[in-house]
């Protein structure tokens, strides 16, 4: 609990528990909705066909009908045509409306509400984004549109009429098929949409506005002609090509790899500029943040293109994993999210470089999910309780959830996994299912026992795996001892051993894989990589008939989301960096080696010394720079040092200044020693052909810009380095090459940097998404005056606290991605952070709560910073009218 000195909110918010789940009392078989759109006062009429879902032997068994509702004005309510009276027939409170004594059997309920899309700054329910009406109903936004059982296990057929002004809303969209359109008086018109698939309320969507449309077609495997339409604000339509292309490739891939085909004749995407998240999978009407649709070479980086490809695919894949089979309750969120992230990762791996995708996934997992699992907000992939479900759209539910699915895939193999998928869909199509249902389908289809595996869903924390090995020369046997532990997390002091697929390999002196078979296994079963199945706290594995290995390679391909505790010598790491046949493990060896050097350098700096770095490490870097065979995208990853936040995770207490100085020192040392090689790589990787966001040329850009980054470590003393950055910027014909030097310049500062930043601003001042980049690269700058600059940028006309992309770009980047300046010793970063969270909470509580999480990591800091951070959390908690969202994060952060 929070410190007793802090005032709890007037009413402590209710905790919702998974174990309290009960099935709904009523089914809503169909819902007719009619919207009369007005920005400040939209009328919503609904007609619900209600059927009891509980035993009603007699009238005495009839239960009250509870409907959720929030921020609604009730206009009228009638049951089977008879108006109901408040007090006598129903009551309304802050959380909804209850029909106290409904009749026995089925009945019809008609409700009219009034809502205020224009005043809806929470961006949940029906709101206006730059003049466009749009909805966001996941998780619990539908209750801000009308009274309804707003829970995912109530599946209903929707019939939606939208009436609106023709001039400002020529486009009227909802889910399913367009059934009818027509003219009305007073310059208004209407459209009627019918969705044949019963769905939960969180998948409802409505969009109305003046939008441009990019249309193409797709023929499914079985011959269905699907119209694909991407709607955007006028003037943005030329930037929709890549998203359309990605959508088609995703549709084809899902047919080929998963055997899953699209099920309607129309698939719509709408991109809006104000959106709380990345995108949303509403049935046949996906709504997207502009950021994940719009791209052209001049305004989007290679990374942006990759992000669009994967988010478009992700939302499309939800049609089966999320929509056709949905979640029984929100504790099962990872059922759809973990699985769909796994699917989008597989898509990216199949269409791009699998090793590079894996490396990037693991980098992101370590940057976001591992810290969450090690902090006060740690929770299982399937949480046990929540106060506000919006706080659980987390890296754990999404990314660790995807790792859990990936481990099932490793254990069962592609064929076994696909068998499990088919059974899962066959059993649960049209239903609201649970994580247990999914695992049961995988187990039954493959006739295996996955009981222990299920602990991955219930146990929080990142497991630690330690491997020790010994070679017995007499018998030619290598014996590996593997131990697993898991640190305690909030509410879970004791942990049970997990079932872990742990991929290992042994390398001989020439760097060749030694073929491996476990003792007792058929020698025909040898393979270069052996996936060990860990189940106990400690296990031994014996590999007979092998020569003495030179190096041990483990957790190949990152087969399990664990931390490795084993010590390997610097020499062994250097060897693996050069030789490991598993590209992930090869990259990982470099990261571990770098991490070791950086942590040593931190200690040296703290003791007032000058850090030195192994020449073996620098030599290994040189080898990578000189290796013409190496995939360039892989080389770029291998040459990138662990980030400051990740280094900080390995250290207690965290010393942000020393980490920054150590990392800069290593960068500089590498740049000074390898200048010629870096220059060579920089020169030969100049791309001359016309821009394409992928393939060899994107790899070349990644490698060239990595070289540029090292060479910039020679600035500012070496004028040529600074000049190179400015030249690179001006020579660029695409955003990737413009952003790379600008990011470096923003760190260096000075006249050249200011002039280039100004040039960028002037060039792109009218492009909303590019201005987000401009804000972010100033917020992440290592310069000492960054906080002042961030505050000044809040005054820039492009910035607004009610626009999530702006808040994320400027404030989010500062508090999440700039540890050096955020953790300023005087606490100014923390004070600024808490001030903004408090202001934002009155505007958009979801965004406020998500922004708040870095303050919760106080336990990693030294004493004084801990005190400062906790004081800010307490200040937040004692503020009046705190939202449930912020209350939950702030109170848990202080526990």
Say whether residue 195 binds ligand 0A1 (CB under 6 A): no
Cα–Cα distances in angstroms (integers) from residue 192 to residues 162, 169, 200, 209, 870, in the given order: 6, 14, 19, 16, 53
Q: What angle do CA 553, 702, 249 make, to 5 degrees?
A: 90
The CA R_g of the chain, rounded to the nearest whole Å, is: 28
User: Exposed, middle or buried, 98 (CB in 10 Å: 0-12/13-18/19+)?
Assistant: middle
Cβ closest to ligand 0A1, residue 171 vs residue 849: 849
Cβ closest to ligand 0A1, residue 786 vs residue 853: 853
Q: Which residue is nearest to ligand 0A1 (CB)?
A: 277
CB of 632 to ligand 0A1, least distance (A): 31
- What are residue 78's DSSP bridge partners? 83, 110
Please identify, among the stretches 175-183, 238-246, 278-286, 866-874, the one whose residues bind ligand 0A1 according to the rule CB under 6 A.
Answer: 278-286
Q: Are 175 and 205 in contact (CB under 8 A)?
A: yes
Positions 358 through 417 that interact with ligand 0A1 (CB under 6 A) = 390, 393
Cβ closest to Zn ion, residue 205 vs residue 562: 205
Say whether residue 138 binds ligand 0A1 (CB under 6 A): yes
The backbone region for 357, taken as left when phi is positive above 0, alpha when psi lies in -120 to 50, beta otherwise, is alpha
Tell me which of ligand 0A1, Zn ion, none is bound by residue 31, counting a contact when its beta carbon lies within the kind-specific cut-off of 5 to 8 angstroms.
none
Among 79, 171, 277, 744, binds ligand 0A1 (CB under 6 A): 277
Which residue among the candidates 110, 233, 281, 315 is catalytic per the annotation? 315
CB of 272 to ligand 0A1, least distance (A): 12
Tell me which of ligand 0A1, Zn ion, none is bound by residue 136, counting a contact when its beta carbon lies within the kind-specific cut-off of 5 to 8 angstroms.
ligand 0A1
Helix, strand, or coil here: 150?
Answer: coil
Polymer length of the chain: 895
How many whole angstroms separate alpha carbon 486 and alpha carbon 501? 16
Cβ closest to Zn ion, residue 340 vs residue 553: 340
Positions 753 through 782 that interact with ligand 0A1 (CB under 6 A) = none
Cβ closest to ligand 0A1, residue 326 vs residue 446: 326
Positions 834 through 863 that interact with ligand 0A1 (CB under 6 A) = 846
Among 70, 116, 337, 768, binds ligand 0A1 (CB under 6 A): 337
Count, residues near Zn ion per rule CB under 5 A: 2
CB of 340 to ligand 0A1, least distance (A): 7
CB of 486 to ligand 0A1, least distance (A): 27
Say whether residue 281 binds ligand 0A1 (CB under 6 A): yes
Cβ closest to ligand 0A1, residue 334 vs residue 579: 334
CB of 337 to ligand 0A1, least distance (A): 5
Cβ closest to ligand 0A1, residue 192 vs residue 308: 308
Tell me which of Zn ion, ligand 0A1, none is bound by residue 390, counting a contact when its beta carbon lies within the kind-specific cut-off of 5 to 8 angstroms.
ligand 0A1
Say whether residue 136 binds ligand 0A1 (CB under 6 A): yes
Task: For helices 656-673 and 675-684, give the axis angle rounded to 10 degrees.
Answer: 80
How many whole angstroms separate alpha carbon 455 and alpha carbon 140? 28
Q: Are 745 and 782 in contact (CB under 8 A)?
A: no
Tell me which of Zn ion, ligand 0A1, none is bound by residue 129, counting a contact when its beta carbon lies within the kind-specific cut-off of 5 to 8 angstroms.
none
How many whole angstroms separate alpha carbon 783 and alpha carbon 247? 41
CB of 393 to ligand 0A1, least distance (A): 5
Tokens linked to 268: 């719509």
Q: CA torsion sign, 369 to 372 to 378 to 382?
A: negative
CB of 365 to ligand 0A1, least distance (A): 17
Q: What is the DSSP letter of 527?
A: B
How many whole angstroms separate alpha carbon 419 and alpha carbon 423? 6
CB of 202 to ligand 0A1, least distance (A): 8
Three-state DSSP string of 565-580: CCCCCHHHHHHHHHHC
How many whole angstroms separate alpha carbon 576 and alpha carbon 594? 13
Positions 279 through 338 that interact with Zn ion (CB under 5 A) = 337
Tell me which of Zn ion, ligand 0A1, none is bound by residue 601, counting a contact when its beta carbon lies within the kind-specific cut-off of 5 to 8 angstroms.
none
How many whole angstroms separate alpha carbon 665 and alpha carbon 230? 48
Q: What angle do CA 680, 752, 692 make, to 5 degrees?
A: 50
Tokens linked to 62: 């009839």
Those residues with Cβ within 8 angstroms of residue 615's Cβ, 6 or more apart along the chain or in another chain: none
Please identify, among the stretches 112-120, 223-231, 279-287, 859-867, the one whose residues bind ligand 0A1 according to the rule CB under 6 A.
Answer: 279-287
Helix, strand, or coil here: 761?
Answer: helix
The backbone torsions φ and ψ at residue 800, rounded to the nearest 5 degrees and listed phi first, read -155, 135
Cβ closest to Zn ion, residue 26 vs residue 398: 398
CB of 126 to ligand 0A1, least distance (A): 13
Count, residues near ligand 0A1 per rule CB under 6 A: 14
Tell me which of Zn ion, ligand 0A1, none is bound by residue 482, counting a contact when its beta carbon lies within the kind-specific cut-off of 5 to 8 angstroms.
none
The backbone torsions φ and ψ at residue 345, rounded to the nearest 5 degrees and listed phi first, read -65, -40
Positions 295 through 314 that interact with ligand 0A1 (CB under 6 A) = 314
Among 99, 280, 681, 877, binds ligand 0A1 (CB under 6 A): 280
Q: Are 206 and 160 in contact (CB under 8 A)?
A: yes
Q: Are 616 and 571 in contact (CB under 8 A)?
A: yes
Tokens linked to 752: 């050249």
Decide if 315 is catalytic.
Answer: yes
The backbone torsions φ and ψ at residue 386, rounded to the nearest 5 degrees and listed phi first, read -155, 160
Tell me which of ligand 0A1, Zn ion, none is bound by residue 273, counting a contact when its beta carbon lies within the kind-specific cut-off of 5 to 8 angstroms.
none
Q: In this structure, how many other beta carbons lie within 10 angstroms of the beta carbon of residue 533?
A: 12
Cβ closest to ligand 0A1, residue 46 vs residue 289: 289
How many whole angstroms separate alpha carbon 891 and alpha carbon 895? 7
Nearest to 456 by CA among 413, 407, 411: 407
Tell me which of Zn ion, ligand 0A1, none is bound by residue 279, counting a contact when its beta carbon lies within the kind-specific cut-off of 5 to 8 angstroms.
ligand 0A1
Cβ closest to ligand 0A1, residue 202 vs residue 814: 202
Cβ closest to ligand 0A1, residue 283 vs residue 314: 314
CB of 306 to Zn ion, least distance (A): 17
CB of 631 to ligand 0A1, least distance (A): 30
The number of CA neighbours under 13 Å toward the Cβ of 355 is: 20
Tell me which of ligand 0A1, Zn ion, none is bound by residue 36, counting a contact when its beta carbon lies within the kind-specific cut-off of 5 to 8 angstroms.
none
CB of 138 to ligand 0A1, least distance (A): 4
- What are residue 51's DSSP bridge partners? 27
Q: In this structure, how many other beta carbons lie within 10 angstroms of the beta carbon of residue 70?
A: 18
Cβ closest to ligand 0A1, residue 280 vs residue 851: 280
226-238: b (≥16 Cβ within 10 Å) or e? bebbbbbbeebbe
Catalytic residues: 315
Residues making contact with Zn ion (CB under 5 A): 337, 340
Residues making contact with ligand 0A1 (CB under 6 A): 136, 138, 276-281, 314-315, 337, 390, 393, 846
């Amino acid at each position: 609990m929070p410190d007793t000195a802090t005032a709890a909110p007037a009413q402590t918010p209710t905790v919702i528990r998974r174990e309290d789940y009960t099935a709904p009392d009523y089914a809503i078989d169909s819902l007719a909705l009619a919207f009369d759109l007005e920005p400040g006062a939209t009328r919503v009429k609904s007609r619900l066909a209600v059927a009891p879902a509980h035993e009603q032997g007699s009238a005495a068994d009839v239960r009250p009908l509870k409907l959720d509702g929030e921020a609604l004005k009730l206009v009228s309510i009638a049951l089977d045509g008879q108006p109901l009276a408040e007090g006598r027939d129903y009551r309304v409170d802050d959380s909804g409306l209850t029909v106290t004594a409904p009749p026995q059997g089925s009945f019809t309920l008609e409700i009219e509400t009034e809502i205020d899309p224009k005043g809806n700054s929470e961006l949940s329910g029906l709101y206006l984004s730059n003049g466009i009406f749009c909805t966001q109903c996941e998780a619990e936004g539908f209750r801000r549109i009308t009274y309804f059982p707003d829970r995912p296990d109530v599946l209903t057929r929707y019939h939606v009429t939208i009436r609106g002004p023709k001039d400002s809303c020529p486009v009227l969209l909802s889910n399913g098929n367009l059934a009818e359109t027509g003219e009305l008086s007073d310059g208004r018109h209407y459209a009627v949409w019918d969705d044949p698939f019963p769905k939960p309320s969180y998948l409802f969507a409505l969009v109305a506005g003046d939008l441009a449309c990019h249309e193409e077609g797709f023929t499914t495997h079985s011959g269905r002609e699907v119209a694909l339409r991407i709607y955007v604000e006028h003037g943005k339509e030329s930037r929709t090509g890549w998203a359309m292309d990605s959508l088609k490739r995703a549709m084809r891939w899902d047919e080929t790899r998963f055997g899953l085909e699209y099920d309607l004749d129309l698939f719509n995407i709408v991109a809006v500029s104000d959106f709380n998240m990345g995108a949303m999978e509403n049935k046949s009407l996906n709504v997207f943040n502009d950021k994940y649709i719009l791209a052209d070479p001049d305004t989007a980086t290679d990374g942006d293109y990759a992000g669009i490809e994967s988010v478009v695919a992700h939302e499309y894949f939800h049609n089966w994993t999320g929509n056709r089979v949905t979640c029984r309750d929100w504790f099962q969120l990872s059922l759809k999210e973990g699985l769909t992230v796994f699917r989008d990762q597989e898509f990216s791996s199949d269409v791009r470089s699998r090793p590079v995708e894996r490396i990037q996934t693991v980098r992101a997992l370590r940057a976001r999910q591992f810290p969450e699992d090690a902090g006060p907000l740690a929770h299982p992939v399937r949480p046990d309780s929540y106060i506000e479900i919006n706080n659980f759209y987390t890296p754990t539910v999404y990314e660790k959830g995807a790792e859990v699915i990936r481990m099932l895939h490793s254990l069962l193999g592609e064929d076994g996994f696909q068998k499990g998928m088919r059974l899962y869909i066959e059993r649960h199509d049209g239903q609201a299912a649970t994580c247990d249902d999914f695992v049961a389908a995988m187990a039954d289809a493959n006739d295996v026992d996955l009981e222990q595996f299920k602990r991955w869903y219930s146990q929080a924390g990142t497991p630690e795996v330690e491997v020790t090995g010994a070679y017995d020369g007499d018998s030619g046997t290598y014996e590996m001892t593997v131990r697993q532990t898991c640190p305690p997390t909030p509410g879970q002091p004791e942990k049970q051993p997990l079932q872990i697929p742990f991929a290992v390999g042994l390398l001989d002196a020439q760097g060749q894989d030694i073929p491996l078979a476990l003792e007792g296994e058929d020698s025909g079963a040898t393979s270069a990589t052996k996936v060990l199945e860990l189940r106990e706290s400690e296990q031994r594995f014996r590999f007979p008939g092998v020569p003495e290995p030179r190096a041990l390679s483990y957790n190949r391909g990152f087969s399990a989301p664990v931390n490795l505790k084993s010590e390997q010598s610097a020499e062994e790491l250097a060897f693996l960096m050069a030789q490991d046949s598993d590209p992930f493990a090869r990259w990982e060896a470099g990261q571990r080696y770098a991490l070791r050097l950086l942590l040593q350098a931190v200690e040296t700096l703290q003791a007032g010394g000058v850090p030195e770095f192994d020449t073996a490490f620098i030599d290994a870097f040189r080898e990578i720079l000189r290796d013409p065979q190496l995939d360039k995208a892989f080389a770029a990853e291998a040459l990138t040092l662990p980030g400051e936040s990740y280094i900080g995770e390995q250290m207690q207490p965290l010393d942000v200044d020393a980490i920054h100085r150590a990392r800069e020192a290593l960068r500089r040392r590498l740049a000074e020693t390898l200048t010629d090689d870096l220059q060579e790589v920089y020169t030969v990787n100049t791309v001359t052909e016309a821009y394409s966001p992928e393939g060899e040329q994107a790899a070349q850009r990644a490698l060239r810009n990595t070289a540029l980054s090292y060479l910039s470590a020679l600035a500012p003393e070496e004028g040529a380095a600074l000049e190179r950055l400015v030249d690179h910027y001006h020579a660029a014909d695409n955003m990737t090459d413009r952003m790379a030097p600008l990011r470096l310049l923003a760190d260096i500062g000075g006249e050249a940097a200011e002039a280039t930043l100004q040039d960028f601003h002037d060039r792109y001042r009218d492009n909303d998404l590019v201005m987000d980049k401009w804000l972010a690269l100033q917020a992440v700058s290592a310069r000492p005056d960054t906080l002042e600059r961030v505050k000044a940028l809040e005054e820039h006309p492009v910035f607004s606290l009610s626009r999530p992309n702006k808040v994320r770009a400027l404030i989010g980047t500062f508090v999440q991605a700039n540890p050096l300046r955020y953790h300023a010793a005087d606490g100014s970063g923390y004070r600024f952070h808490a001030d903004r969270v408090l202001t934002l909470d009155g505007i958009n509580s979801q965004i406020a709560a998500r922004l708040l999480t870095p303050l919760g990591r106080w336990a990693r800091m030294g004493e004084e910073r801990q005190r400062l951070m906790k004081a800010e959390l307490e200040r937040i908690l004692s503020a009046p009218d705190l939202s449930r969202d912020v209350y939950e994060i702030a109170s848990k952060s202080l526990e």
